[in-house]
Amino acid sequence: MKSLALLVALLSATPMPAKPLKVFVLAGQSNMEGKVKRGLLDHQATAPETRELFAHLRDQDEWLERDDVFVKFLGKKGPLTVGFGSGECSGVELEFGQVLGDHFEAPVLLIKTAWGGHSLYKDFRPPSAGIPEQRIRAELEQATRRVEESNRKNGKSDPMPREEDIRAAYGRSYLKLVSEVATTLSELDTLFPELAGAEPELAGLVWFQGWNDQYQGAEAEYASNLGHLIRDLRRDLAAPDLPVVIGVMGQNMSQEAKGPMLTIQEAQLSMEQVPEFAGTVKAVRTDLLVDQAAEALYPEWRERFDEWEKVGSDRPYHYLGSAIWHLRMGRAFGEAMIGMLGTPAE
């Protein structure tokens, strides 16, 4: 009896192991924000010809809220369901979260850090890429001319632009990304009481971006900048082998990409071939997952608007706002991530 009492005392004195929490960062610009409108989701989830595709996201006649997958997207937070995109829209997080939630016994947290219209060349520019001095000078000269001309025409005396302000814009979104992840994890118990006491593990990152690097020659630097981004984020997020899934630009849909878009696609695909990224970076082609029904109807969307609303909800640069296309991409990103993790569900 004495030994039993000692065992009980030892067990009660030993702190319980922290509950694991798998954390994934979803980063990029507007397409990572998510542009699938709620009306389209509601329609396709109930239409006889498409409802089976959405059945796993539904609980009776309502959208399912998972109790094991959570989302933080800037000012939004809560259990995974529809609506974690721009406004009331949804994005790839909806299906990505399903795939990861089904895979892990541990709860999953998705931290979305996405801002529309932000380039890798400028906004997300990683620290180790350095500052493009020639571009800085050109921007300063152009901005100065604009203010001078405005002052002359309008009899104003607005101050001239400052070089330090132009420099500060380079990498601003990169810093915000790192800060958003760090702040979310430091405030985890407050943001998500359901996860109080959990031990977060940064388990992967999805990068879905590219559109704004098609201009002013930025595409020529995309491969270099993306390599810097992966290395710098692994350093600054203290995750040296962080698995990274790259959503390859696919707005070309069923057509072959050309020009800057092709350059960016090739840059994104090339990351798999970088020796130091072997087995830890996976590029997923999104054009191969296109919703062909939405693609076929889009050229006549104005004339056939009633039909269009049943398949798409935005322009090609936002993947037609296609719910089906976004589900396919989210699933592909999730499966690619699991494939790299190479570990059993836990």
Domains of the chain by residue range: 18-125+170-341, 133-169
pLDDT of residue 343: 57
The H-or-E segment that residue 278 falls in is none
Average pLDDT, 10 consecutive residues per value, the chain (346 residues): 39 58 98 98 98 96 96 97 98 98 97 98 98 92 94 93 93 98 97 96 98 97 98 98 98 98 98 97 98 98 97 98 98 98 63
pLDDT of residue 251: 98
- State the Cα–Cα distance between residues 168 and 220, nearest whole angstrom: 22
Nearest Cα residue to 112 out of 97, 101, 102, 99: 97
pLDDT of residue 10: 34
Is the CB of residue 94 less than 8 Å from the CB of residue 57?
Answer: yes
pLDDT of residue 342: 78
Contacts of 236 (CB under 8 A, 6+ apart): 178
Q: How many CB atoms lie within 10 A of CB 220?
A: 15
pLDDT of residue 208: 98
- State the Cα–Cα distance between residues 341 and 100, nearest whole angstrom: 11
pLDDT tens track for 230-247? 999 999 999 999 999 999
What is the dihedral angle through the alpha carbons of 206, 207, 208, 211, rounded to the nearest 10 degrees? Answer: 180
- State the Cα–Cα distance between residues 129 and 117, nearest whole angstrom: 20
Going by the DSSP 8-state scheme, the letter that residue 204 receives in this structure is E
- State the Cα–Cα distance between residues 124 and 144, nearest whole angstrom: 24
Is the CB of residue 246 less than 8 Å from the CB of residue 284?
Answer: yes
Contacts of 297 (CB under 8 A, 6+ apart): 304, 307, 308, 311, 312
Identity (one letter) of the amino acid at 325? W
Strands 58-59 vs 62-63: parallel, antiparallel or unpaired? antiparallel
- State the Cα–Cα distance between residues 209 and 174, nearest whole angstrom: 13
* Strands across the sheet containing 19-28: 76-79, 69-73, 108-114, 19-28, 198-208, 244-248, 281-285
Contacts of 139 (CB under 8 A, 6+ apart): 166
CATH class of 18-125+170-341: alpha beta
- State the Cα–Cα distance between residues 199 and 219, nearest whole angstrom: 39
How many residues would you count in the chain? 346
